[in-house]
Amino acid sequence: MAKRNQPDYPEVNFSEEGPIRHLHLGSEWIQGSMLIDAPTVLVHEYIQRMMVWLLFMDPTTAPKRQAVQLGLGAGSLTKFCHKEVRMKTTAIEWNPQVLHACRGWFKLPADNSRMRVVLADAAQEIRKPEWLGVVDALQVDLYDEEAAAPVLDSAEFYADCRAMLTEEGCMTVNLFGRSSSFDASVAKMREAFGADALWAFKATREGNTVVMAQRTPSRPKRAVLLERAAYIQEHWGLPADKWVRVFKPVEA
């Protein structure tokens, strides 16, 4: 029985499928995954695509920048930004049991000078003055155990996200499902960021669509994107050349 005023957190557990370990929140839905023998590899295509913001700034400067994840999941993006890209990295997670699972089962390091996990309600935490205008890469993946729609998905929330970003900063969001909720989410992002600020992939086979919103809209030339993609692929093993071909501005 939950204590009065204490959130009723969903049960956190994991399953294994060959070389891969999955995180679950009391349901069959996968909330994140890890390659057991290579814990910083980004297993799922949509998680790789959450790093597409690297194409929209000089990737050689990435280690000097700051990344924030809203929703820890299995810690994949937090580990990757911290250990592989070597960025200053913060994850904001509501459920302390998810953090415990990531430390125990998914090889998330303890907090250190470049990485930390803040246990808080993301909607409240991101309004703190310390976050205003300092985040270069904001990665939003907020789903509950039902995985039906983002937990935070209002124009006001996306406006708060925009306020966190540096001038070159980008927000990437995982939108799950092909239903009308996708169009509604994009409309709210457009209201907060502007019509020219949004880019998107088509949905993956699993139904995940990654959308990116820029603090300052830009249209880098293809040659610049290809040069950056080559660097991203060489240094971090991400399929960025494919991103250049399939990542498009969202039509208003």
Chain segment 229-246, per-residue pLDDT in tens: 999 999 999 999 999 999
pLDDT for 4 equals 37
Distance of CA 124 to the CA centre of its chain: 18
The DSSP-derived string for 127-188 is TSGGGTT-EEEEEE----TT-SS-SS--HHHHHHHHHHEEEEEEEEEEEE-SSHHHHHHHHH
Distance CA 161, CA 231 (A): 28
- Kindly state the average pLDDT of the residues 172-185: 80
Model pLDDT, residue 188: 95
Please state the rounded mean pLDDT for residues 130-156: 81
Least confident of 18-27, 91-100, 228-237: 18-27
User: pTM to 2 decimals?
Assistant: 0.92
Mean pLDDT along residues 122-137: 97
H or E, element range at 123: helix 122-125
The whole-number pLDDT of residue 2 equals 36
Q: Which residue has the tokens 């994850």?
A: 91
Q: Please, which pLDDT band fits residue 143 given cuts at 50, 70 and 90?
A: low
For residue 150, the model assigns a pLDDT of 62
What pLDDT is stored for residue 142 in this prediction?
A: 83
User: What pLDDT is attached to residue 197?
Assistant: 98
Residue pLDDT, tens place only, 23-70: 887 667 777 889 999 999 999 999 999 999 999 999 999 999 999 999
Alpha carbons 236 and 84: distance in angstroms, whole number: 7
Q: 144 or 167: which carries more pLDDT confidence?
A: 167
Residue with tokens 């820029």: 214
